Structures are given as C-alpha cells and as structure tokens.
Amino acid sequence: MIISIEGSINNLSLALLKNDLIISNQTFNVQNQLAQTIVPTIKTFLHKNSISIHQLSSIVVGCGPGSFTGIRTVIAAAKGIIIANNNLQNIGVSGLAGLAMSVVDEALKNNIKYIVSLIDTKRDDVFLQLFKLNDHDKLSFPFQSMNKIEVVKIEHINEYLNKYNLSDKDILFVGHKSSSINSNIINLKISENLCQYPNAIWIGKLALYLLNGFDKIDNTVIAFDKIEPIYVRSPEINKKI
C-alpha cells in the first residue's frame, strides 16, 4: 500500500494506491492551517480507510516547487511517518512532473508529444517545465523532462517556446493560469482536466513506474530516493527540516 502526499500549494492532497488502483483520495482546503492540521488529517485519513502506518509499504511526497512553508511542512510530516515505520520506501516527486502525469492520457489521445506544466510562484509568474512523451510501448517513464524548472511570466511564454524551438509544435499546457496563455500560439492546447494543480494521485501513479521496476530513479531527474525540498528560488528562511 502506498500513501502519497502533496501540499506544495494551499490544498493538502492525500491518496492511497495499491497495485495501480486508487484506493482512496481526498483534498483538504487547509489555507494557512497546514502545519497545525497535517498530522491529525493524515491519521484520520488512514483511520477512515482502516489502514495503519505499519501496513504502508511506500510513501510518495510532492517536493515542490511551490510554497516554501507547504513543502517543508509536508516533508516534515512524511519524515515523522518514516520514523514510525522505518521499513517504508520513500520517493520524492516533482509537482510539475505530477501535473504532466495527470494529462498523459489526454496528450496521447490528441497525438501531442509535449506537455508544459505550470505552478503559481505567488510572485506574478510561474514555475514551469517542459516534458516530452516517450513511446508508450516502452517499459519506461511515460515522459522525460526536457529542461530544468524555470521561472517565467505568463506573457513571456512565446519567448520560452522559441528558446526551445517549440513554437511550431503541438503542446498541451496544464496548471496555473494555463487558460490565460496568449491564444496567438498556433498550436496551443489547454488541458481539459478539472484539476489544474498538483495532486497526490498523480505523484503516486508516477512513482508506481519506479516501484514496479519500469525505470530507475536516477534515470528520471524528476523523482528522487530522498524526500527533500525542490527549491528553484532560494528559500527566504534557510532552515533545515
């Protein structure tokens, strides 16, 4: 049984997965109460599903980018769970990769090779990353990252695409303010997914590729065998968890 936790934005998202099936998932609107509520919320979530910490085999954590406070709080709670069950395998996953995972089927259906994921920085721009789908018949991750995470203003998306020679490619955008991207991008496609923010389901499903032996963590760049914060900008408060 896998528990996945995502809290890099305002909401706390929890999911239980087993053998590629979603056993349970729930999203909580915690606003500024995450630090006070995360541990009892996780305990209640497990109790409602009749699962104890010792029945878990793996924990998957969304490590950012996003809110410094949210990321650190989620990771601290996850490390507490690991202390309580030191047999847990732990995997950290990029929230941008989780967003890309949420629209893989949509991209394949529309014969789109590229996905751009966006997460709000709370500073009038977005964390952004480009992914390219792999051939779906290969036993590997469904996509690969094409660059490092960058910080870009929405109005500069065209320049971003030109930099990577993608202005004439079919691209699926997903995430924060994706619907606000300038419509003069010829091959612009906005995901129809109702969830446009990182979610525990998708970081969990992405981690399953690793847990099931489809690829190695070191090959992915977007998943890690340590749950540590992904900081694109330097934290305003440099404090170790």
* List of residues 6+ apart from 189 with CB closer than 8 A: 110, 112, 170, 171, 172, 173
Do residues 3 and 46 lie in contact, with contact meaning Cβ atoms separated by under 8 Å?
yes
Secondary structure in 3-state letters for 114-170:
EEEEEEECCCCCEEEEEEEECCCCCCCCCEEECCCCEEECHHHHHHHHHHCCCCCCC
pTM above 0.85, yes or no: yes
Report residue 70 as tokens.
């949210």
Q: What residues are paired with 239 via a beta bridge?
A: none
> What is the C-alpha separation between 228 and 61, in angstroms, rounded?
9
From the centroid of its chain, how far is CA 22? 16
Structural domains of the chain ordered from first start = 2-94+197-224 (3.30.420.40), 96-190 (3.30.420.40)
Do residues 10 and 29 lie in contact, with contact meaning Cβ atoms separated by under 8 Å?
yes
- β-pairing, 150-152 vs 143-145, is unpaired
Do residues 210 and 220 lie in contact, with contact meaning Cβ atoms separated by under 8 Å?
yes
> What is the C-alpha separation between 169 and 186, in angstroms, rounded?
9
Would you call the peptide bond into 65 cis, given omega within 30 degrees of 0 as the criterion?
Answer: yes
Rounded to 5 degrees, what are φ and ψ at 130? -105, 135
> What is the C-alpha separation between 137 and 176, in angstroms, rounded?
30
> Which residue stretches of the chain have pLDDT < 50?
236-241
Q: What pLDDT, on a 0 to 100 scale, did the predictor assign at position 183?
A: 60
Q: At what angle do helices 95-102 and 200-211 cross, to 10 degrees?
A: 90
> What is the C-alpha separation between 96 and 80, in angstroms, rounded?
25
Residue 33: C-alpha distances to residues 7, 9, 74, 79, 215 (Å): 12, 12, 12, 19, 37
Burial of residue 195, with CB atoms counted within 10 A of its CB: 0-12 exposed, 13-18 middle, 19 or more buried: middle
